[in-house]
């Protein structure tokens, strides 16, 4: 329907042949259309194609409300927001209505009175799909007034009775009528508010100031929760659990490739004037592997989870450190190195919860994660036996200095002195620029150190690799 000939009144809408659909019918039909056309249904959601998204599609086809269970940073809210793509581009509502009333079957008393007076000449308004989504973060202090509504004292002062429906100031759920309502961290709602939410979903009514108001709202509900809290032993009432149709378990990225894809898509791009940035593949893999190691670490509480945001912020901080070095050394290229990994302590420490006995510093935990990740990625690229010639050179007294403030050309100069290093650097695509060579050299030397083939002395931010 073009912009110029859209119906502007209820009468014109009826003459156009427009048929009202419930929100669940609308989403189901649009999902089927997109599936048949081969369109992308959940843009930007990575790693869920074979696990979570088919279950979401099943729930929509079944017309069921959804609860997404998962630890923090598992794209629960993003999935909820992406459901907007399954709504029609525009939907007609009675103009000026607070709760997006259907022109043919209005709910609120104000719209009934208006239609009784104006009939088919009652004006309508077309709202875009993004205005049909409402979202609320559950907190213990949320009230029924926030979610459903409250008596407006100004309207009472104008002469209306408290029992008059026209005195109500509607909350976020009625204002999302004929749309999608998402409530995050559902168990954090007080139990009495959960009961009120249940009444809205099941009985389609609510009591406001002792008056029962019938609200047969048309809302698709999506909730999110931590699995630990979403039990009858936790903070959720059983009847509300029973009302939500599909319980879908989310998860963290199961492969390094998915973790990398997410952190690259979500990280803040760098635009330092006059500086060319590049991220070696092995450094990407190390950043992603650090997060995967954290999710398996016995030192870190797995109940609260290790969010993908750890990968994203670590990815950004390591590049920031490389850019800062390039600026200070007046270099034109910024490429992250192993020595830049110290920058992730600040971006990791606040996002993990330790699960250890006694006083253990977060910095030590992060250091262990870095070492495990570097060793894992190094072994993916190399066999230690490949470096016998290189190690032999160190046994003759060769040493190599590294630092996050060392100019890239210093690594190029050292590369010429270390036999057997050039081939390994080439295997990492460490060619074309001094900065790329520096990154590859540090990775190889650190990998050999962690595999106990080289010793490492660290003093005042600098490291020296040697043998013996």
Nearest to 342 by CA among 241, 453, 461: 461
Confidence category of residue 455, pLDDT binned at 50, 70, 90: very high
**Domain map (residue ranges) of the chain:** 10-249, 256-466
Judged against a pLDDT cut of 90, whether residue 423 lies above it is answered with no
Terminal Cα distance for the chain, rounded: 79
pLDDT at 164: 60
Say if residue 403 is exposed, middle or buried (CB neighbours under 10 Å; 0-12, 13-18, 19+).
middle
Judged against a pLDDT cut of 80, whether residue 378 lies above it is answered with yes
Judged against a pLDDT cut of 90, whether residue 27 lies above it is answered with yes
pLDDT at 203: 67
Mean pLDDT of 109-129: 93
pLDDT at 360: 66
Nearest to 283 by CA among 313, 315, 320, 241: 315
pLDDT at 64: 94
Mean pLDDT of 162-181: 81
pLDDT at 357: 60
* Tokens 């104000």, residue located: 110
pLDDT at 2: 46
Q: Which CATH architecture has domain 10-249?
A: 3-Layer(aba) Sandwich (3.40)
pLDDT at 326: 93
Q: How many CB atoms lie within 10 A of CB 103?
A: 25
Mean pLDDT of 162-187: 83
Task: Kindly report, residue by residue over 344-371, the tens digit of the pLDDT.
Answer: 999 998 888 887 666 667 888 999 999 9
**Strand ranges in 355-426 using DSSP code E only, listed in sequence order:** 400-403
pLDDT at 318: 96
Judged against a pLDDT cut of 50, whether residue 375 lies above it is answered with yes
Rg of the Cα atoms in the chain: 30
Strand, coil or helix: 335? coil
pLDDT at 209: 61
Cβ distance 218 to 176 under 8 Å? no
Q: How many CB atoms lie within 10 A of CB 52?
A: 22
Task: Kindly report, residue by residue over 274-284, the tens digit of the pLDDT.
Answer: 899 999 999 99
- And the tokens for 352? 């993990």
pLDDT at 241: 83
- And the tokens for 20? 């009202």
Low-confidence winner among 91-95, 160-164, 291-295, 357-361 (lowest mean pLDDT): 160-164
Question: What Cα–Cα distance (Å) separates residue 208 from each residue in 30, 168, 171, 196?
Answer: 36, 8, 11, 10
Judged against a pLDDT cut of 50, whether residue 329 lies above it is answered with yes
């Amino acid at each position: 329907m073009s912009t110029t000939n859209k119906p502007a009144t209820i009468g014109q809408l009826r003459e156009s042949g427009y048929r009202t659909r419930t929100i669940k019918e609308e989403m189901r039909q649009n999902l089927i259309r997109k599936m048949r056309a081969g369109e992308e249904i959940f843009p930007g959601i990575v790693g869920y194609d074979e696990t979570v998204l088919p279950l979401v599609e099943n729930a929509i086809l079944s017309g069921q409300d959804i609860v997404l269970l998962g630890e923090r940073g598992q794209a629960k809210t993003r999935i909820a927001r992406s459901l907007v793509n399954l709504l029609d581009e525009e939907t007609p509502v009675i103009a000026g209505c607070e709760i997006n009333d259907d022109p043919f079957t209005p709910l609120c008393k104000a719209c009934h009175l208006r239609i009784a007076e104006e009939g088919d000449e009652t004006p309508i308004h077309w709202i875009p799909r993004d205005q049909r989504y409402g979202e609320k973060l559950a907190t213990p202090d949320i009230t029924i007034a926030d979610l459903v509504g409250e008596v407006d004292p100004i309207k009472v002062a104008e002469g209306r009775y408290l029992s008059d429906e026209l005195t109500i100031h509607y909350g976020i759920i009625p204002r999302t009528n004929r749309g999608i309502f998402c409530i995050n961290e559902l168990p954090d709602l007080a139990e009495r508010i959960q009961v009120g939410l249940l009444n809205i979903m099941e009985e389609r009514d609510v009591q406001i100031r002792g008056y029962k108001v019938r609200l047969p709202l048309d809302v698709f509900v999506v909730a999110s929760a931590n699995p630990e809290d979403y039990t009858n032993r936790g903070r959720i009432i059983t009847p509300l659990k029973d009302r939500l149709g599909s319980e879908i378990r989310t998860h963290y990225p199961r492969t390094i490739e998915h973790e990398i894809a997410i952190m690259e898509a979500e990280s803040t791009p760098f635009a330092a004037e006059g500086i060319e940035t590049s991220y070696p593949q092995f450094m990407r893999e190390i950043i992603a592997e650090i997060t995967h190691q954290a999710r398996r670490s016995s030192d870190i509480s797995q109940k609260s989870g290790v969010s993908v945001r750890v990968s994203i912020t670590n990815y950004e901080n390591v590049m920031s450190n490389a850019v800062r070095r390039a600026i200070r050394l007046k270099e034109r290229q910024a490429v992250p190195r192993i020595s830049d990994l110290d920058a992730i302590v600040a971006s990791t420490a606040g996002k993990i919860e330790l699960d250890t006995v006694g006083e253990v510093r977060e910095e030590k935990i992060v250091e262990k994660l870095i070492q495990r990740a570097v060793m894992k990625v190094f072994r993916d690229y190399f066999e230690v036996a490949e470096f016998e010639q290189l190690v032999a050179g160190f046994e003759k007294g060769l040493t190599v200095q590294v630092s996050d403030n060392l100019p890239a050309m210093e690594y190029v100069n050292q590369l010429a002195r270390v036999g057997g290093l050039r081939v390994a650097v080439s295997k990492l695509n460490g060619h074309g620029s001094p900065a790329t060579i520096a990154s590859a050299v540090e990775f190889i030397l650190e990998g050999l150190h962690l595999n106990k083939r080289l010793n490492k002395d660290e003093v005042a931010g600098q490291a020296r690799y040697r043998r013996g």
